[in-house]
Amino acid sequence: MKDKIVIITGASSGIGRALAFEFAARGAKLVLGARRLDLLQNLRESLAPAEVLIQQSDVSVEADCRSLIDAALERFGRIDVLVNNAGISMRAIFEEVELDVIRQLMDVNFWGTVYCTKYALPHLLKTKGSVVGVISIAGYVGLPGRTGYAASKFAIRGFLDTLRIENMRKGLHVLVAAPGFTASEVRKVALTADGQAQGETPRKEEKMMSAEECARHIVCAVAKRKRELILTFVEGKLTVFLGKFLPKLLDKLTYNHMAKEPDSPFK
């Protein structure tokens, strides 16, 4: 990763922030995008002496995505890695959720990935670089209470898998990274049925994989140009395995597991 130009969306917190530190530790030059400029400014200071460009951007806005890519090119002249990490979650059953919540999930998670990848792709083809999509185990199995989240992550996986096949003779590397439950603020800001932030996480964050460990795995997968990364054994690899070979059993296990959350929206 030495002197590679790496763009990370959703870089102000959680996995995105941890990725910034991990790439910087390996000598990369960073372009960091997020909505919260103050957090980006603090992050840039913390990353010194790494070379870092920050850009306030909302990935649900196409023009912001284009500006982020343009800023990277203006500063560094090329792009080697694009990490589509920005994302939001939700927690409400579909029967009760407002449709605008689903739209917001798709706008940020799916369309944000599409927009950034669209504008970065010509430049990544020149460098035979990497496109990374940080999805979730929810991109392999439907999580009850998170219809919009799972739909957006399934969509990202389908989009990136297809992009990989289209460009398999052009040297483009495409990685779909699926963490299991990872300690971050994503559950605190998850949207409820009316679009308000949840405020508190329903899960024990201290028992989850840390964002730093997750970032190390993702950066290693980029360096090795892997096509897929599924993290954690029980909630990750075993879940995907059961989805392929025992899907009916997985449905029951998933329902029972998610129903145990405090204040679960379904029972």
Of residues 115, 140, 149, 255, which has the active-site annotation?
149
**Inter-CA distances, 123 with 57, 70, 76, 172, Å:** 20, 11, 12, 10
**Cα 213 versus chain centre, distance:** 15
CB 186 within 8 A of CB 88: yes
Torsion of CA 216, 140, 232, 134, to 10 degrees: 10
Residue type at 155 in one-letter notation: A
For residue 202, cis peptide bond before it (omega within 30 degrees of 0): no
Burial class (CB in 10 A: 0-12, 13-18, 19+), 199: exposed
Verify whether residue 255 is a known catalytic residue: no
Q: Which residues are tagged catalytic?
A: 149
